[in-house]
Amino acid sequence: MKKKYTFIDLFAGAGGLSLGLEQAGFTPCFVNEIVPEYCATYKANRDLPNERYFVGDINSLNEHFDEYAHHMKGATLVCGGPPCQGFSMANRQRILDDPRNQLYKAYLTFLSKVRPKFFIMENVKGMANKIDEIRQNFREYLGDEYLFDFELFKAQDYGVPQNRERLIFIGNRMGIEPKEIFAEIHKNRRQAFVLRDALVGLPHLEAKAEKGKTDIENEQSGFTERNFVYVDNEFYHFINGDRTISKLYNHKNRYNNPRDIEIFRRLPQGANSLHKSIADIMPYKSRNDIFKDKYFKLSEEQICKTITAHMRFDCNMYIHPWESRGLSPREAARIQTFPDDYVFTGSQNSWYAQIGNAVPVKLAQAIGMGVMKFLK
């Protein structure tokens, strides 16, 4: 019988990190996410039964840990990225004492209860500023049982058509030197695709005609779901494998006012708010120094700028390279290397937030494959 390597995903969001680990051969056994709408997307794409989810604050999960422990028994790995706001260089307070870092403390508490063979923690690169203190924190909660270290990963080094940097911490209690694990992960490097690879062949979209009409779907502004034949190219197989997908999900545009549409049309690729082509209609001229990136047209020949949850407000900083509109949620999902049949649920603005907060799937897969080598 094939051995099953299970994992627990904390702060799971829509499931980007999880999906990459699943593609590497791991199986989720328990999931924690505080936002019900995000967890609904996670559930919609998997067959994991409801009792395997804790939808709520991780601190509450820790308080009621014994009620859920039987679902986590024997978990090989714990992963997650606790949001941490309190570690600027200027902040002299210990990380654990900063009330903004309660989720980081809760992550450590959870690890101390489960004590998996491996853990993965992903975070912003600014966390490296406090690495000595972080090492001390892990010793306080886990003792000397775990060897762990971190590296800064660039998603584009693993094929992702996006400029995205994340700090990845990996620890284990199997006596494996972390540098050996990172070296194994590096073997999965490949040349990045460019933005055009992710966008080519998707249907043309225009701005929605009426503001506030979220339920209207048509050929002009797009659909939540429709039948579709994808362009069969290298990028398609990179994110989908050899599966044939016949549906297009979450490819919808939002409302834009006529001035913004004209700005989108005029700007050349790679240009921002300061470009002369829009000087006469730019609405923030008196504050150009602040708003130079209020509008930015992406370049099809480059990797994309970092996809973020800010897209839920507007996509003016993510203007499509050859169409007068912002990127659609499906286009953002492709840039994050989600497969084309990964469905995002909830409102359209929530789709953008879920996608922007996710770990790129193919980066997560590369990390998972590196860890898996030492389990097999």
Active site residues per annotation = 84
d(CA 147, CA 294): 44
Task: Indicate the residue type of 159.
Answer: G
Going through 84-196 in order, the beta strands assigned E by DSSP cover 118-123, 147-154, 165-172
Which residue in the block uniquely carries the two structure tokens 């990190």? 17
d(CA 316, CA 351): 17
Query: Which three-class secondary structure state does DSSP give residue 336?
Result: coil
d(CA 253, CA 224): 10
CB 346 within 8 A of CB 214: no
118-123, strands of its sheet edge to edge: 53-55, 26-33, 5-10, 77-80, 118-123, 165-172, 147-154
DSSP-derived pairing of the beta strands 118-123 and 53-55: unpaired
> Which tokens sit at 328?
């659609």
CB 180 within 8 A of CB 365: no
d(CA 200, CA 72): 42
Of 219, 290, 206, 300, whose CA–CA distance to 256 is shortest?
206
- 21 secondary structure, DSSP code: H
CB 353 within 8 A of CB 254: no
List Cβ neighbours of 92 (8 Å cut-off, separation of 6 or more): none
Alpha-carbon Rg for the chain, nearest whole angstrom, is 21
d(CA 63, CA 175): 30
Provide the sign of the torsion angle of the four alpha carbons 54, 58, 60, 62, taken in this order: positive
